[in-house]
Amino acid sequence: MSNRQPNAFHRAFPAREFFRGSARSVVFWSFINGLLLAFLLILFFLILDLLDHRGQISVQGVERVQQLQEILTSPEPEAPAEATEPSEEPAEPKADTDEVAAAEEKPAPEPEPKAAPATEKSAATPDRLVLSDTGILPSVWWTHSKYHLGIMKSVYQRVTLLQQNQSALFTLILVALVVASIRVLIRWRCRLRSLKVSHHISTTLRNMIHRQALRLGPGDLSGKETDQAFHLFIQDVGTVQNGVFHWVYGLTRHTVTLAILLLIAVSIDWRLTLQCIIPLAAAWYFLMQHRKDYDLQHARTLVTIDTELSLLAENLRSTRLVRGYGMENPEHEQFQKHLAKYTENLEKLKRVEGWGHRIARGLAVFCSCLVVFLVGYKVLVNPDSLPLSAAVLVVGIFGFFYLPVNGLHELFRVREESTVAASSIYRYLNLIPEVGQAVGAKFLEPMSTALQFENVTYSLTPSSPPILKGFDLKIPAGTTTALVSLEKLAPRAVSFLVPRFIEPRSGRVLIDGEDTAWVTLESLRAEAIFVSGNDPCLTGTVKDNIRCGDERYSLQEVIAASKESHAHQFIQGLPQGYETVLGQHGEDLTTGECFRLGLARALLRKPALMIIEEPEGPLDEDTKTLLEDAYSRIFQNRTVLVIPSRITTLRRVDQVVVIHEGKVEAVDSQSNLLKKSALYRHWEYTRFNQFRHSQDTPIEQR
């Protein structure tokens, strides 16, 4: 079955979310950022054209000269009624000769041979006009001639700083810096908004996982479901969060950028753009296909290399046989054979990598040269339609294409990873808890007669081997019982069945004759409390750890329960006593202290039935002594089930139940079982005999 559900990422972040809240803001600001990119490219073109022409322009033809003179004509302000007759001549930049200005003041009897006739006031319009130091006038003239737009003309006429070379260069660079700074701020804002969207999605998923873990967690016998929930909570939600962030931030930014670049390139010369786009797209497709084939071949070669390396390493383990049977020569030949294959595969891997890089670089160089050739040829053939500055801009646009295109490619790869992670999350969220409260469930009174298991069968999954199979047991009220088995999960399964953390596949669990499947979970778990020595402390104060947020219990009751479990003494030694914060960012407790705190938590509620799973870790001598005294109080007037980890607990209980292959093998006191049950003797020997274990893993003897 595939790990990927195609709609999993869409389920976590539907497309309609782009038009809501922060995501909509990202789309809007990305569009504004794209417009600023277009403006920045126009400024770049103007700067290049200014450096190329240096403000010099030459126009031939009466009609073209008239059009240029219209551009040079500044817009007239609204004049008062007594104003003099407006001049027919505009304020013009310097011509190529100094005599132009004099020609406007008084008519010259004979103009100089090289004076610019365009600046003379005459009845006829000259057919040639040559101007210098005109700022961005050549760019304005080219755009006006090509697009017939009045925007550049209007800007040039109104902004005097653009009418001279030095001031125009300074102004263009200054405006470009301001626009670039605004784009940086907008991108920063988009990132923050995208982070907000991804944080909202991750928070929602983590809340859902937390609720689901609370629903499924009590029945986790092996701990695998808890580990799975932890991994989903940290790793997979983090992957989805990263995917949503890049999807919101990258999709809008790269799409708008690509559209702006393509639009500007088409507006400059659509034929040239098409001629360049086709080979670039073909080369990109070829490179993507080559990358897939290369990755597949690379992975296969690595597997072969690992296999040969394992064979070489295996030879090191057979040295005794080789020397003992005189196989040095055959073994050496075999080793050299595998070594030669290993070397051959390494060379193959190098060749694959080498050819891959050569092909990629060769295509990149070829496409770059092709674009430069096409653009350069256009400049040489028809420089009026494509000046050098526009050609450089086109080449720069095609070079810049790589960033958004590659960004979109990586974006879909990130989305694929996020889809796999989201699929795992939603599969976990779709799990149905096996325990639920029945309609019309009864309130359970405190246990007074017996706890009984009737032909109970249980397995982790319907297809897995049964942990309990036909399990029958009756425990009288007020007695203490230890559950032992060679199978680690069997005693825990029996314990989990009582408070209905898990449900039997078949059979019943009865408390005073009432089927626990038909009583309320709240009343059942209030009277049958499970205490595990392997549970961590809750994050919060010591008092909150014992009360579990239930304000009905006073501090005096909390202290009384702590004294009964011998937790009060070490609590008093903490920095703030019962107000000391525990958990990841608080005080750390030892295994024995956590266990006694758990006993106090249970004793505060005064349950009729307690289920105690002793800690697996080692306990110090003081803790052992205190637990002995605490047990003497806990075991009085209460039914207790114990999963023991200490031999002294086995000697204290009324009876020991030996479980084997899912059934009750024997029930008796510990001393009698030592005499009668070979299975119990084997269990106790493997569990507690010190010679069966190394010093690194000491086993509790008391």
Degrees, nearest 5: CA angle 291-404-15: 100
pLDDT value, residue 586: 74
Q: Which amino acid would we find at residue 14? A: P
Find out whether 571 and 578 touch, Cβ atoms under 8 Å.
yes
Give the pLDDT of residue 383.
78
pLDDT of residue 407 exceeding 80, the answer is yes
Tokens of 227: 């580990």
Q: How confident is the model at residue 240 (pLDDT cuts 50, 70, 90)?
A: very high
Q: What is the DSSP pairing of strand 581-582 with strand 480-485?
A: unpaired
Angle between helices 591-603 and 621-634 (to 10 degrees): 10
**Higher-scoring residue by pLDDT: 198, 125:** 198
Q: How far apart are CA 38 and CA 32, in angstroms?
A: 10
Distance between CA 473 and CA 621 in Å, rounded? Answer: 35
Q: Say if CB 197 and CB 191 are below 8 A apart.
A: no
Contacts 24+ apart (CB under 8 A), 90-98: 92/119, 92/131, 93/55, 93/131, 93/132, 93/133, 93/134, 93/135, 93/137, 93/163, 93/164, 94/131, 94/132, 94/133, 95/119, 95/130, 95/131, 95/132, 96/130, 96/131, 96/132
Mean pLDDT of 272-277: 85
Cα end-to-end distance, the chain, whole Å: 50
Predicted local confidence at residue 420, as pLDDT: 92
Tell me how far apart the alpha carbons of residues 134 and 140 are, in angstroms, rounded to a whole number. 10
pLDDT confidence band for 5 (50 / 70 / 90): low
Instruction: Specify the range with the lowest mean pLDDT, choosing from 95-99, 147-151, 590-594.
Output: 95-99
**How would DSSP label each residue in 344-377?**
HHHHHHHHHHHHHHHHHHHHHHHHHHHHHHHHHH
Percentage above 90 pLDDT, the chain: 40
Rounded to 5, what percent of the chain is helix, strand, coil? 60, 10, 25
Q: What is the pTM of this model?
A: 0.74
| More confident: 122 or 628 | 628
Token output for 435: 């325990």
**How would residue 696 be classed by pLDDT, with cut points 50, 70 and 90?**
very low
Cβ-proximal residues to 99 (8 Å cutoff; 6+ apart), any chain? 108, 111, 112, 115
> Which amino acid is it at 414?
V
Mean of the per-residue pLDDT values of the chain = 83
User: How many Å apart are CA 46 and CA 134, to the nearest integer?
Assistant: 13
Query: Among the listed ranges 283-292, 383-392, 600-609, which one has the minimum average pLDDT value?
Result: 283-292
pLDDT given for residue 62 in this prediction: 84
Predicted confidence (pLDDT) per residue in 69-121, tens digit? 888 876 655 444 443 344 444 444 444 434 333 334 444 444 444 334 444 44
Closest among 501, 531, 537 to 516, alpha carbons compared: 501
Average pLDDT over residues 316-328: 72
- At residue 124, the pLDDT reads 60
Cα four-point dihedral sign 65, 67, 71, 73: positive
Burial readout 246-274 (b: 16 or more C-beta within 10 A, e: otherwise): bbbbbbbbbbbbbebbeebbeebbeebbe
How far apart CA 5 and CA 584 sit, in angstroms, is 36
Determine the average pLDDT of the residues in 424-433: 89
Residue 657 sits at φ, ψ, to 5 deg, of: -105, 120
- Give the whole-angstrom CA distance, residue 308 versus residue 344: 10
- Which amino acid, residue 344? E
Closest by alpha carbon to 8, among 429, 425, 412? 425
Which stretch of 50-59, 172-181, 232-241, 318-327 has the lowest confidence by average pLDDT?
318-327
Residues 450 and 475 sit within 8 Å (Cβ to Cβ): yes
Nearest one of 181, 179, 232 to 207, comparing CA atoms? 232
pLDDT tens per residue, range 448-461: 899 999 999 999 88
Q: Which of 375, 374, 390 is nearest to 142 (CA)?
A: 390
What's residue 352's pLDDT? Answer: 62
Q: For residue 125, what pLDDT band results from cuts at 50, 70 and 90?
A: low
pLDDT in tens, 611-629: 999 998 788 888 888 999 9
Q: DSSP assignment, residue 94?
A: -
More confident residue, 306 or 554: 554
pLDDT at 576 over 60: yes
690 burial type by CB count under 10 A (0-12 exposed, 13-18 middle, 19+ buried): exposed
pLDDT (average), residues 647-670: 93
Q: Is there a contact between 677 and 658 (Cβ–Cβ < 8 Å)?
A: yes
β-partners of residue 659 are: 485, 664
- Report residue 210 as tokens: 């937390």
**Residue 362 Cα distances to 291, 354, 365, angstroms:** 14, 12, 5
Q: Which residues contact 606 (CB under 8 A, 6 or more apart)?
A: none
Phi, psi dihedrals of residue 161, rounded to the nearest 5°: -65, -20
Smallest CA-to-CA distance from 529 within 546, 552, 507, 512 is with 546
Please give the backbone phi and psi of residue 60, each rounded to the nearest 5 degrees, phi first: -120, 145
What is the C-alpha separation between 142 and 505, in angstroms, rounded? 85
Q: What is the mean predicted confidence (pLDDT) over 239-256?
A: 92
